[in-house]
Amino acid sequence: MSPGKPSSTGAGGRRAKVDHQTRSSPWGIVSQAITKIEDQPFIFVIAVIVLLVILELAAAKLGSPDLSFIVHVIAVLAITAIVGYYLKDVLSSRGKSSEAAVSAVTTSGSGESGEPAKPDVIPAVGVRSNKYDRWQDELSNGFAEVTLAPGNAVERNTLARILERVLGEKKFSETVAGNAHVVLDELLNNVAKHVRNSDANVMLELNTGHLPTVMVTVGDEGKGYQWWERVKQQYLEMKTDGREHGVGRICRLSDRVLSTPSASSNPWFRVECTLHDISWPGSLCDEYGWCEKVILDYTPPASVWFGSRKHSRRYSLWWEHRYGGPSTLWSVLGALNFSIDEEIPQIANLYLEHMRAKEHPYLFFEIRRPGSTETGDPRTSSETISQTLESYFKQQFADRKVLLYASKHAYPHALESLSENYGLQLFTADAECEAALRKIDDRMSSSRSRPV
């Protein structure tokens, strides 16, 4: 995907093609008018009533009984047609309660995302329900493309709810379903805030194969912007108690973000977000509730896990840049490096605060597999995570209650500096690590059972 010219592929090999000539043709204008009527039926009804009143007044003024009779007949027929259409639509939609309402899916399950709750119900059945049914049917088949006005809060929230619901039906985790909802909502909110007089083109694609994936792409006719500069500005604002929002939140919740700037030949600016659904990888420390877990796993896609099985958050270490090679600018490594270099602990809080709240006495830090694709700029991934943990778990390091484990052929030297600096034991085999965990558990159990 070259800058300035959006690729015709991606999002499953499908891209929106906007034909401006069609838009401006008579049939295009009629089509848009019909769409507006479907979206705002009550305005259409009001317009019809106003027209009938005008005709009635005109007939009364002319004093023609024949014209008055014709107007009355037209009024009755119009009212009958409108009421009949609504009744038909409601009756045809009864029994489709699954399409009429979408239950709220919380994001606090395995991997709490900590995002704000969304409205629980899709708007009631009506003229627009057929459109919503189509969105859901298409997405259930793996791909949906929707063009909507980003300022239309009802349609925006409905589409996000449909996405969350379908992901749940396809057995995606509650975490990914909730995160995809938030990402779509934030992308559309950006368009509504910063782009005037432009529809948003939304493409949603699901892949339920070996690596379950959801792709959320939003395009608009705005001039675009430098994505990283916008993220960096938000990070700097957090230093003075600014909150996370917009592009910063999108980057944190996505596994990969690509932006395609607009060009004069194709005015669409697109942002493509990819979210993977990967299950908790398991840990030797899973059965022990007295330790918090951090797993740096280089198994593709390389990720870091913060938290335990039921309360973990996973973040991709990097993603492939459009020009080739791994990029860490917008990933968890980029965020934590920025937090370290600019001394902005609020950024690290976004990723680790859920762990501190549990106040576990021990920290279990494991690195899995060799990190063979390290960028090393400005530091290696193990150095970034290690320095972040040193700052965030100062008490555990000071009390030497940190367990270090290099597993599955991971390079031990990635943990050696922590071991040497704090006098911590470094384990490289399952058996010795399990023995140490049992010993600590026995000690913890005896201290809890000891009478006060």
Residues of the chain with pLDDT > 90, as a percent, come to: 46
* pLDDT of 39 over the 80 cut: no
What is the pLDDT averaged over residues 364-371? 91
For CA atoms 229, 234, 238, 244, the dihedral sign is negative
**What's CA 136's distance to the chain center, in Å?**
18
Token couple for 65: 């009984």
Rounded to whole angstroms, the Cα distance separating 149 from 133 reads 18
What is the pLDDT averaged over residues 220-243? 83
Q: Per-residue confidence at 42, pLDDT binned at 50, 70, 90?
A: low
Residues 273 and 11: beta-carbon distance below 8 Å = no
CATH 3.40.50.720 fits 1-18+100-277, yes or no: no
| Type of residue numbered 250 | I
Peptide bond into 26 cis (omega under 30): no
pLDDT digits (tens, 9 = 90+) for 147-194: 999 889 999 999 999 999 999 999 999 999 999 999 999 999 989 888
* pLDDT of 356 over the 70 cut: yes
* pLDDT of 414 over the 50 cut: yes
Determine how many CB atoms are found less than 10 A away from the CB of residue 390: 15
Q: Within a 13 Å sphere around the CA of 381, how many CA atoms are in the beta-carbon half?
A: 29
* pLDDT of 30 over the 50 cut: no
SS (H, E, C) the chain: CCCCCCCCCCCCCCCCCCCHHHHHCHHHHHHHHHHHHHHCHHHHHHHHHHHHHHHHHHHHHHCCHHHHHHHHHHHHHHHHHHHHHHHHHHHHHCCCHHHHCCCCCCCCCCCCCCCCCCCCCCCCCCCCHHHHHHHHHHHHCCEEEEEECCCCHHHHHHHHHHHHHHHHHCCCCHHHHHHHHHHHHHHHHHHHHHCCCCCEEEEEEEECCCCCEEEEEEEECCCCCCHHHHHHHHHHHHCCCCCCCHHHHHHHHCCEEEEECCECCECCEEEEEEEECCCCCCCCCCCCCCEEEEEEECCCCCEEEECCCCCCEEEECCEECCCCCEECCCCHHHHHHHHHHCCCHHHHHHHHHHHHCCCCCEEEEEEECCCCCCCCCCCCHHHHHHHHHHHHCHHHHHCCCEEEEEECCCCCHHHHHHHHHHCCCEECCHHHHHHHHHHHHHHHHHHHHCCC
pLDDT digits (tens, 9 = 90+) for 285-340: 999 989 999 999 999 899 999 998 888 899 999 887 666 677 887 899 999 999 99
For CA atoms 71, 77, 82, 87, the dihedral sign is positive
**What's CA 134's distance to the chain center, in Å?**
22
Rounded to whole angstroms, the Cα distance separating 205 from 138 reads 10
SS (H, E, C) 33-85: HHHHHHHCHHHHHHHHHHHHHHHHHHHHHHCCHHHHHHHHHHHHHHHHHHHHH
* pLDDT of 142 over the 90 cut: yes
Residues 96 and 90: beta-carbon distance below 8 Å = no
Q: Within a 13 Å sphere around the CA of 405, how many CA atoms are in the beta-carbon half?
A: 25
What is the pLDDT averaged over residues 414-429? 94
**Of residues 399 and 127, more confidently modeled:** 399
Check residue 104 and give its pLDDT: 35
Please state the pTM of the whole predicted model.
0.71
Lowest mean per-residue pLDDT among 1-5, 350-354, 444-448: 1-5
Least Cα distance to 361 among 280, 285, 279, 435 occurs for: 285
Check residue 64 and give its pLDDT: 63
Residues 258 and 272: beta-carbon distance below 8 Å = yes
pLDDT digits (tens, 9 = 90+) for 78-127: 667 766 665 555 454 444 433 333 333 333 333 444 444 444 445 544 44
